[in-house]
Amino acid sequence: MVIAVVAGIAPPTAAVTAPEVDVSDTPYDWGESLTINWIPSGPPDSIDHYEIWRRAGWAMLPAPIGQAHSSSFARIIREAGWHLAGTASATDTVFIDSGLSSDSSYVYLVAAYGKRSIRISQPTRPARPRRQYLDTRHTNILLATILFISAVVFFVERARRGANLFIRRIAGLEAIEEAVGRATEMGRPILYVPGLEAMDEVATVAAIDILGQVAKKAGEYGTRLLVPNRDPIVMAVAQQVVRESFSAVGKPHMFRSQDVFYVTFSQFGFAAAVAGLMMRERPATNFFMGRFYAESLVLAETGNATGAIQIAGTDADAQLPFFISACDYTLIGEELYAGSVYLSRQPLLLGALKAQDYAKALIIGAVFGVVLLYLISPEIAELVRKAFG
Amino acid sequence: MAFYDRMMSIDRRIIFLSVGLAVAIPIIVPLGFPVQVSEETRSFYREMAALKPGDTILLSFDYEGDVMAELNPMAVAVLRHAFSRDIKVVAITTYAGGTGIAERLLTEAAARYGKTYGIDYVFLGYNPDWSGTMLRLGESFKATYPTDQYGKSTYEIPIMQNVETYRDIALVVSISGSALSEYWAIWAGGRYGAKVISGNTAIQAILIYPYYKAGQIPGFLGGLKGAAEYEKLIDEPGMGIRGMDAQSVAHALMLAFIIVGNVGYFFSRRAQARQSK
Amino acid sequence: MKRQGPIILAFTIGMLMLVQFFTPAAFFKQAYNIILDWKQVVLGFTFILGTWSLIRYHYTKISRRRENWQYSYVTLAGLAATVTAALVWKTATGPYPWLFNNVQVPMQSTMFSLLAFFVASASYRAFRARTFHATLLLIAGALVMLGRVPIGAYLSGSVFGVKISLVEISDWVLNVPNAAAKRGIMIGVGLGMTATAIKIVLGIEQTYLGKTD
Amino acid sequence: MEVTHDAGIWVAGILTLAIFSFLYKDNPFYKFAEHLLVGVSAGYYLVQYFFSAAYKKLWVPVVQQGNPILIVGGILGILMFTRLFRKTEWISRYPVAFYIAAWAGYVIPSYIQVRILQQAQATMFNPRGMGLGEIVSASVLMVGVATTLIYFYFSAEHKGPLKTISKVGITFLMIGFGATFGYNVMGRISLLIGRFQFLFTDWLGIVH
């Protein structure tokens, strides 16, 4: 369907034809973009690039377009009220034109710049961007999110009504009682580092949860608790939690805000200060809970040199090998998130853990299922696999 | 104290001293070991080599001074590779401490290839909220960075004229000592379809493997070794290759300590077994 | 009001940020950008609180003459110097960048480089064939260490006529079993984080509000 | 061997040695360097975060660009100061709840997509059209992921079949940790290389 050959360039030899263009509403926007796709008008090496032109309202091609030179093509088409929406490379076949308004319609044409000629497509039918309330690309994530949230709510409700939810023994968490006891016997303080991440990082929330339980133990045993912080908000929350824990075990006077303090936001300034603290205050028990980075081994190895009992817990899998080599107990990844549930034995929190376990079973089943399905019917298997993307 | 007990409990300070010497000596007297290029470095090189002159890359300095030693060689190599092939560079930094480093490396590389600021490369500087920046670059570069590092409005900088969103960026290169390369893959790649490759410290590179296997990061450089391999591929020997010699000696020393520890352990177990009989 | 208020706020803000992921509606996109900016401002302000805690920590140490109190003067002096430098000479030139480039960065990099020593002492102690698992740690660690280093490239032989280089084995260990363990941990952590995030948004998780029973 | 005359590099060199001295034992040089680092870096981040947040994200948009909505951020920030007094401390729970919930809300769908769905998808493989070696590796990877996940299974004691499966899981974990440790030894040493290059080249001029 060759519409117009722009004269002035050597007659066409390559098999470059005018692109066939179609326009449709982008299925996942707020009515401000249209998707233009076209069938390539020749082998990629014969095409330099494409230009996508847009015009508000309805229009036919301006008559003199046939005789225009390639340089004058742009001038003529602009005079006819068209605007350059964008360019695309030789291998592209889709272009999303955004920044449009949903109460007017638009017409498009695509110019294929060949090595020696321009091929211009027929203008498309007018199209209006429409508003979608749901981003259809994320439907699978939406289903997974709804499924997981309802599982958490379901198991939490069941736990609230007293269902006895079992949780397996986690060595690192069992050892907390013994570790705090040791510090009390030796009359040395306990050091608790709630990780280096900000308060909005979920690993830090888990670390603060465990801090609450450890602070209660320290309060019961009457042992001093040192909590250096790298993030100011974490410091503020940690002070609140430690003060509440001490008063929960009837020891409000034990709280000293100087013991839960801000050091510096610098990763290695913080590591230097805590390493110095370990050498000078000689805590008998060190806790490293939350998200850690490369400084983890500076803390763990210095602590190891002081002979303290060390219990670490992190979801930073890059740091787990260092904690495992230098600490007595290490909570691996998800075990950090089970910490507060395990120690507080709160039924509500046990419910959420149940949901995680069922999700694991589901994922393992899905992975094995899809691989087996490939043997039976690859098409369906591919469909299921795509749904996970 | 039996010989095997001494082998099992070498004082930590002796280990520290020998590691220090094992690294210091080869730096002063280079030894020159061969470099074997790994698969992920070759894919990183392939992605960079696939760029055409005039393409624009987004180079993000996602690190600060403390990992400079391992990451500077990579940033230098990427800049040399890009400028030598007339590829334009839009540079940003997601660490406050990274601005000084980025400026120094950009000016050094630009001087070496006669590149002019504003036309061949631009430095947009530091934005505190890295995740917010990554996401809003998908909407508009100029809104996220109204001015460049030197206060000039990005609307007037030539190179920024046709850089509006990730669609105008041929490749995002994240040089990072933290999880930022992953977040580039999640936010810029996952949400806006940008192609992301990364240069990472050895510790961080181990985390990039799942993304590399899943194709979310089609190529990456791992630690000083990755830098040395990339330097070899683009034929620009630098700090990467020189450091590898020191690394080889230090590695051998560490393996020696591990072997000594295990041999001592073996003999002490055998001695205990003999006593208990 | 003291407890329910923050829970309701957490629920509304949390659901808003969750829903905006699924809908392209302009309102949610603007709300999303504004919330990100608000977060930065809140963090910025809390640095005043943090610095106040730092000052009080060192001031009490000096006033109570606790052990090593003399060094607290150094911290307070360093803090005062940097802040005054920024206020008086601004951050582009003068003492502020000088302190950053010649005091802060060198010490941070040196602190980081201590890891080279600690990795040696930790591997000497941990890589010992005491238990089955410790032996696995030892074999995998030594194998990858050798594979990543030029000496490793020399160590390759042929087994049953198949030429195997240490680098290939090391890469396989990194790309298969290691990637499997990493992915297992990542999925587990993903579940743990998402469940904790849901508990925060739904108000089941309240410890961070200072409620610990 | 021409030693540098730049005062800054001298200061950096001496402080570098002071930090290295910690390897021998805690000593006055290290105590001085550590406390100086804490003070200077705390000041640096106060300037970077407070001024950049208060100026760029509050003063400029609100006063210069007339965008009052960001005042709310300022109010939330100021509410944090209620922490300083016992009576008004409960008010600071609002900005804290806002700060934590905002990211928690965003994390839920993003992590489900990237850390759960996509990683599960990457583990699914199509055995048809794969070489024997590839099938073995892909199966080992799949079994590794499954057994590692089962190792973290909380709802049942690790007894009977669950015990053996999670034993396989911990084997994968240990191989993974060993590999990570071995891989990082290299990275850590390169940091030391960087410091020695600074001492020998920039400061003492022994090496060029």
C142·B244 Cβ contact <8 A: no
Nearest CA in chain A to D102: A200
pLDDT of residue D208: 54
Would the pLDDT of A10 be above 50?
A: no
Nearest CA in chain C to D193: C113
Nearest to D187 among B20, B70, B214 (CB): B70
Task: Tell me how close the Cα of D86 comes to any Cα of chain A, in angstroms.
Answer: 10
Q: List the single range of A49-53, A302-306, D35-39 with lowest mean pLDDT.
A: A49-53
Taking one residue from A and the other from B, the number of pairs with CB-CB distance under 8 angstroms is 13
Nearest to D101 among C10, C136, C142 (CB): C10
Nearest to B209 among C105, C150, C178 (CB): C178
Task: Tell me how close the Cα of C91 comes to any Cα of chain B, in angstroms.
Answer: 12
Q: Which of residues 141-200 of C touch A (CB under 8 A)?
A: 181-182, 185-189, 191-200
Closest CA to C26 of A375, B235, A99, B115: A99
Helix, strand and coil content of chain C, in percent to the nearest 5, comes to 75, 5, 20
Domains in chain A (CATH in brackets) are 4-120 (2.60.40.10), 136-151+350-387 (no CATH), 165-345 (3.40.50)
pLDDT tens digits, residue range A33-86? Answer: 899 988 887 777 777 788 888 888 766 666 555 544 566 777 778 888 888 888
Q: How confident is the model at residue A9 (pLDDT cuts 50, 70, 90)?
A: very low
> Would you state the structure tokens that stand for residue B217, as one six-digit string?
């990061």
Nearest to D196 among B24, B203, B251 (CB): B24
C188·A333 Cβ contact <8 A: yes
Neighbours of A263 (CB within 10 A): 25
Query: By three-state DSSP, how is residue D138 classified?
Result: helix
Do residues C207 and A245 touch, judged by C-beta distance below 8 A? Answer: no
Residues from chain A that touch B201, judged by Cβ atoms under 8 A, are 294
Instruction: Compute the distance between CA of residue B204 and CA of residue B20 in angstroms, rounded to an integer.
Output: 24
Nearest to C105 among B97, B202, B252 (CB): B97
Q: List the single range of A204-213, A274-283, B235-244, D144-153 with lowest mean pLDDT.
A: B235-244
D179·C141 Cβ contact <8 A: yes
* Residues of chain B predicted below pLDDT 50: none
D24·B13 Cβ contact <8 A: yes
What is the pTM for the complete model shown? 0.80
Q: Is B31 on the interface with C (CB under 8 A)?
A: no
The DSSP result for A21-47, as a single string, is EEEEE-TTSBS-EEEEEEE-SS-GGGE
pLDDT tens digits, residue range A315-332? Answer: 998 899 999 989 999 999
Do residues A213 and A180 touch, judged by C-beta distance below 8 A? Answer: no
Sheet of A20-25: strand order equals A20-25, A33-39, A94-98
Q: Which of C35, C63, C99, C118 to mutate to test the interface with A (most CBs of A within 10 A)?
A: C118
C39·B129 Cβ contact <8 A: yes
Tell me the mean pLDDT in the region A205-211: 94
Nearest to A388 among D102, D103, D121 (CB): D121
Tell me the mean pLDDT in the region A271-297: 96
B254·C113 Cβ contact <8 A: no
Higher pLDDT, B100 or A305: A305
Q: Which of D110, D112, D115, D139 to mutate to test the interface with A (most CBs of A within 10 A)?
A: D112
Q: Which of C93, C112, C174 to mutate to test the interface with B (most CBs of B within 10 A)?
A: C112
Q: Which of residues 242-281 of A touch B (CB under 8 A)?
A: 267-268
Taking one residue from A and the other from D, the number of pairs with CB-CB distance under 8 angstroms is 171
Q: Which of D9, D108, D168, D195 to mutate to test the interface with C (most CBs of C within 10 A)?
A: D108
Average pLDDT value for chain C: 87
Q: What's the alpha-carbon Rg for chain C, to the nearest Å? A: 27
C43·A245 Cβ contact <8 A: no
pLDDT tens digits, residue range A224-265? Answer: 999 999 999 999 999 999 999 999 999 999 999 889 999 999
Would the pLDDT of C39 be above 90?
A: no
Instruction: Compute the distance between CA of residue D34 and CA of residue A300 in angstroms, rounded to an integer.
Output: 18
Q: Which of residues 68-87 of D touch A (CB under 8 A)?
A: 80, 83
Residues from chain C that touch A153, judged by Cβ atoms under 8 A, are 202
CA angle centred on B44, ends B43 and B48, rounded to 5°: 110
Would the pLDDT of A7 be above 60?
A: no
ipTM associated with this complex: 0.81
Task: Identify the CATH number of the domain defined by range B39-237.
Answer: 3.40.50
Domain residue ranges in chain C: 1-89
Task: Tell me how close the Cα of C158 comes to any Cα of chain A, in angstroms.
Answer: 32
pLDDT of residue C119: 93
pLDDT tens digits, residue range D70-89? Answer: 888 889 989 999 988 888 88
Would the pLDDT of D191 be above 50?
A: yes
pLDDT of residue A62: 62
C43·A198 Cβ contact <8 A: yes
Instruction: Compute the distance between CA of residue A273 and CA of residue A263 in angstroms, rounded to an integer.
Output: 7
Q: How many CA atoms lie within 13 A of B43 on its CB side?
A: 18
Which helix (H) or strand (E) segment is A109 a member of? strand A106-114
